[in-house]
Structure 1
Amino acid sequence: MGRYSRRQSKSTGHDHKDRWLITYADLITLLLIFFVVMYSVSQIDSDKYKVLTESLQLTFQSQNSILDGGKGVTGTAGQSVNNGGKGNQQGQNGQTPQGQQNSSGQETLTNREQAFREQERELANLMQVIQNYVQTNNLQGQVSVVDKPQGISITLSDQFLFDEGKADLKSGSLGTLARLASLFQSINTTISIEGHTDNLPIVYASRYKDNWELSGARALSVLRYFIDVKKLDQSKFQYAGYGATRPTADNSTPAGRQKNRRVEIIVLRQLQE
């Protein structure tokens, strides 16, 4: 009896030592399953990949931006904006969705996209005409024009427009303002007239209390010329006086203060409803 017990005990101990093989086999099996799953996930469905690439190419090649671009990433370079008129779209109601081509193979645009393009063309032409006028009449030190995000900004020096501390227009500036008025007649957007001064207080004889009143009065004088003398549509204009709160140069120097005393006429980049 004692001999049997010793043999049974010795056999049971051997079984316990070999149980690690079962755990090891399970681990190997799980690793094999893991790599099989990873391999299957990494395989690319060629048909789906082809559909995806074709879709991306069509997206980048479509010319449905409101800005004037080319044929997209894979197409030709963009041209300057020159599309005007009214666009047609066709869909369920017989209109073509934006960015698609019509029966003749030409790109179609929404009415609003075409309106934006037409306005950009008008603003670019306006800027070019004013630049030519300034150069022809040697007004580089008195009048400047730049394209800003909000629109085309035409800056006129206070010395060109007014006497010191006054808001009455000088006769020498009327020709330039008349030229601007003729250009504004065909612009279908809002025109903002903004007066600015330096930061020096008004100490000379003046009917204006401070720079706020002076800047506002000067902007109003330019506005009155456009709507009272040149009979432009008053609904197209707005004006404001900013005093010394929006300097473009250093007010600590005479040259900087001179640049800050100005009237800005901004043809805003927007569409009328």
Structure 2
Amino acid sequence: MKKKRHEHHEEHIDETWLIPYADLLTLLLALFIILFASSQIDSKKFEQIMKGLNSGFNGGTGMFEQSNIVPLTVSPNIEKKKEDEKKKNEQESQQEQQMKALHDKEMQDLKELQQKLDGYIKDNGLLSQLETKLNEDMLKITIRDNALFQSGSAEIKQESQVLAQSITSMLSGYNQYNVEVAGFTDNVPINTREFQSNWDLSAKRSLNFMKLLMQNGKIDPAHYRSIGYGEYQPIDTNDTAEGRAKNRRVEVNIIRQINSAGAKSFIP
């Protein structure tokens, strides 16, 4: 009697699902690579990744070669911004150079004018009555009131008109500058028929002196103004006769248009 053979067949697991699963993982990987590349805002890197992925799929052909891929346009915008920023910086640098050149030219002009004035003051023995001072804002000519006026009066002395004419002749070569003629007094009250306060006296004195400067017709009135400050901008104490004498003055201020802070002018 033959023995029966029992054949045991091994059971095989169906693994066909692995193929689409692997394809799905590959596609997801490609998607994340694309998103990563896009987040870097670099069109060159994006193009390199596309070429690499295309060559890896179907021998270089596939879904990534479709014509509906939207090209990145951010990089040209960045380049344009950089170019605009560069032009802006160049313009600002040119403006700064121009301002510095004007600043230096004004300093040279006003130093030259100061030397002329100082020479006139020295030659005519006026050191106790006039002085000049140059700073970043202006060239200041200070004239003591006793060199121009009688006490309590705004009428300019006859002998002082030569002084005004000499100053005008020197100023006429610098008509591009704005000039302020300012009057100042001490704090001793005044109340006369003509002047009710020191405001009135200082304003009238500055106006009369400015009119005298205008008489030769060589300076431009559009660049001039007069103003009275009264007793409120002293340069010395009002407690002594000497201090009050210094405070009673007329100033002719040649204003710089350009200083270290930029353009500056009191006339529009």
TM-score range, shorter chain: 0.5 to 0.7
Q: Partners in 2 of 1:227 and 1:110 — Cα distance? A: 35
Segments of structure 1 that go 5 or more residues without pairing to the other structure are 1-90, 101-107
Q: Structure 2 length normalisation: TM-score?
A: 0.58
Please say if 1:159 is aligned against 2:167: no
Question: 1:265 is paired with a residue of what secondary structure?
Answer: strand
Q: For 2:101, which of 114, 117, 134 is the aligned residue?
A: 114
2:201 aligned partner? 214
Please say if 1:225 is aligned against 2:212: yes
Q: For 1:189, which of 153, 162, 177 is the aligned residue?
A: 177
Q: Partners in 1 of 2:116 and 2:141 — Cα distance? A: 12
Q: 1:166–1:206: 8 Å Cα contact kept in structure 2?
A: no
Q: For 1:173, which of 134, 155, 160 is the aligned residue?
A: 160
Q: 1:195–1:218: 8 Å Cα contact kept in structure 2?
A: yes
Q: Partners in 2 of 1:130 and 1:235 — Cα distance? A: 23
2:187 aligned partner? 199
Segments of structure 2 that go 5 or more residues without pairing to the other structure are 1-85, 259-264
Amino acid of the residue matched to residue 184 of structure 2? H
Q: How many residues matched?
A: 172
Please say if 1:124 is aligned against 2:115: no
Question: 1:223 is paired with a residue of what secondary structure?
Answer: helix
Q: Partners in 2 of 1:263 and 1:206 — Cα distance? A: 22
Q: Which deviates more, 110-119 or 182-191?
A: 110-119
Question: 1:139 is paired with a residue of what secondary structure?
Answer: coil
1:71 aligned partner? none
Higher helix content, 1 or 2: 2
Amino acid of the residue matched to residue 193 of structure 1? V
Q: Partners in 2 of 1:132 and 1:222 — Cα distance? A: 22
Spell out the pairing of 1:48-87 with structure 2 (5 A cutoff).
none
Tell which has more relative contact order, 1 or 2 (C-alpha 8 A, sep 6+). 2
User: Once the two structures are superposed, what CA deviation does each residue of 1:143-192 show, in whole Å capped at 9, x if it has no partner?
Assistant: 11111342111000110001111111112222221111112112211101
Q: For 1:262, which of 249, 253, 267 is the aligned residue?
A: 249
Identity %: 28
Q: Partners in 2 of 1:258 and 1:226 — Cα distance? A: 23
Query: Greater Rg, structure 1 or structure 2?
Result: 2
